[in-house]
Structure 1
Amino acid sequence: MEFVTVAKEGNAAFLKMERPPANALSRQMMQELAGVFEELEHDSQTRAVLLYGEGRFFSAGADIKEFTTVESGASFAELARNGQEVLEKIENFPKPVIAAIHGAALGGGLELAMACHIRLVSENAKLGLPELNLGLIPGFAGTQRLPRYVGTAKAAEMLFTSEPISGIEAVKWGLANHAYPEVQLLEKAKRMVHSIAQKSPLSLRAAIELLHHGKSGQYEEGLKLEARRFGELFDSKDGQEGISAFIGKREPKFTGE
């Protein structure tokens, strides 16, 4: 593994993302995360998982530079479906997954965090989905998960304005469980993971299964529609302009085409 390291203490596993400076979710990073979770699922000693980022951020989002290597909207839609699949596996992982978020969880980074069962944040962390700044939309189930946590109106505000909220605000809106000073975050997260890891693996698995039992067919249809729109927007002139502007560090000029 180049970008994800695993450390184990008792029945807890600590997953650290190490891809400076922003822990961007490249294809390789997503593949490594999928591989690590696959291994931990079959590790009988691991009963709870902590996911966090090294450096300044939890994850500042997708690797936008990789977008320039995608050849078509169809390929872009497939990229979304692959990302959705990885995050669905994390959300349905039979062992509790806690995200410790410091610095920023933006775009794909927030989508990754939302797939975890519990989110602990630093008080000054920034959480948001800024994809509309690029003429795009979230593609890793962000449009489907965010309203489940904060409600439709607040989700609309976060999507339409692209403005992030703080860790304290995230707790207020139900997007995060607890906010701590950044220097205390990892210690608090590890303490929670160790506490959870003392529980029966059978009861933990059953609790996770029941928490997600209410997912409807509409949710699945929403994922499919999100991936299609993700690809369509990539093919649009606005989508290409947004990506180009981001990489060129300039303001995009959208025309509605």
Structure 2
Amino acid sequence: MTQLTHPAQTLLEHLDGFSVQIDAARERADIVLHRPPYNIISMAQRDQLRLVFESLDENPAVRVIVLRAQGEHFSSGGDIKGFLEASPEHVSKLAWNIAAPARCSKPVIAANRGYCFGVGFEISLACDFRLVTETTRYALPEQKLGQIPGSGGSARLQKMVGITRTKDIVMRSRRISGLQAHEWGVATECVPDAELEAATDRLVDELRAFSPIAQRTAKKLLNDTEDATLTVAIELEGHCYSRLRSSDDFREGVEAFHGKRNPNFIGS
């Protein structure tokens, strides 16, 4: 019998610059960047982060994923020297790896404080929710290196804030504060720095209270229809709604509503 092997078997043996913590009781997984002081993200780390998101997506004990960092800065960006050493084939996978939070079917929260530059900003943009503080600084500084964002940053940002603001950020390598990011619709919530962890906990618990199957459906629908026409988006929304009508969770939600009690969703 042929013995099958895969690079992922060894890639996840020693995580590079981050750790994974799973709290089964709270149905929560934390991906924690910890390469002090600036949590620079290496080329190998990008591959590992993708695989970790894919693994957590398949883990039934996890309902919500949090991407956060140790220290005062989320991440100052990628390993600059690593770009010159990487092969063209590897570099071509940058955007695919960093898009892993968006492809993940479960809600993903980015908790951003301090510097959130380059790939740190790009992977946060690929998450569903971004919590920031008054210390947060977002930036895509690649123009200073004679480059452009290469992991989806300018494309995702333009969808959120439009071409004028995106050119201002990308072409001038301009930093924006957490408060400005919230005002522009880039960040979900802006809280005092000391309250970031508590705000993250609250959002995790809020998301856990909803039906897992309804949340997976909503995330995929919104992602898939971002570039669709209004007519197509409404049509797809109707199909998704119709499918959920036969779910156990929808029946439970309706019965709980009429029974004036909290629903007990099971994800089917």
TM-score (norm 1): 0.78
| Of 54, 58, 62, the match for 1:46 | 62
Which residue is 2:92 aligned to? 81
1:215 is displaced (CA, Å) by 4.0
Which residue is 2:22 aligned to? 8
Unpaired segments of 5 or more residues in structure 1? 218-257
Which residue is 2:159 aligned to? 148
Please say which structure displays the higher CA radius of gyration. Answer: 2
After superposition, give the CA deviation of every residue in 1:41-95 in whole Å (9 maximum; x if it has no partner).
111111111110112211111111212324xxxx34x344312111223112100
Q: Is the Cα–Cα contact under 8 Å of residues 87 and 112 in structure 1 kept in the other structure?
A: yes
Which residue is 1:34 aligned to? 50
Q: Name the count of aligned residue pairs.
A: 212
Matched to 1:51, the amino acid is L
Q: 1:58 to 1:164 in 2, by over 3 A?
A: same
Which residue is 1:190 aligned to? 201
1:34 is displaced (CA, Å) by 1.4
CA distance in 2, matches of 1:99, 1:88: 13
| Of 87, 91, 116, the match for 2:102 | 91
The 4+ residue runs of structure 1 with deviation greater than 3 A are: none
Paired residues for 1:107-126 under 5 Å = 107-126=118-137
CA distance in 2, matches of 1:99, 1:136: 25
> More relative contact order in 1 or in 2 (CA 8 Å, sep 6+)?
1
1:100 is displaced (CA, Å) by 0.3
Matched to 1:207, the amino acid is A
Unpaired segments of 5 or more residues in structure 2? 1-14, 229-268
| Of 125, 130, 142, the match for 1:131 | 142
In the alignment, does 2:69 pair up with 1:69?
A: no
Alignment root-mean-square deviation, CA: 1.6
1:39 is displaced (CA, Å) by 1.4
After superposition, give the CA deviation of every residue in 1:103-160 in whole Å (9 maximum; x if it has no partner).
1111111001000011000112100101001110000011210111111100000011
CA distance in 2, matches of 1:82, 1:45: 29
Q: 1:30 to 1:197 in 2, by over 3 A?
A: same
Secondary structure of residue in 2 paired with 1:55? coil
Q: Is the Cα–Cα contact under 8 Å of residues 54 and 104 in structure 2 kept in the other structure?
A: no
TM-score (norm 2): 0.75
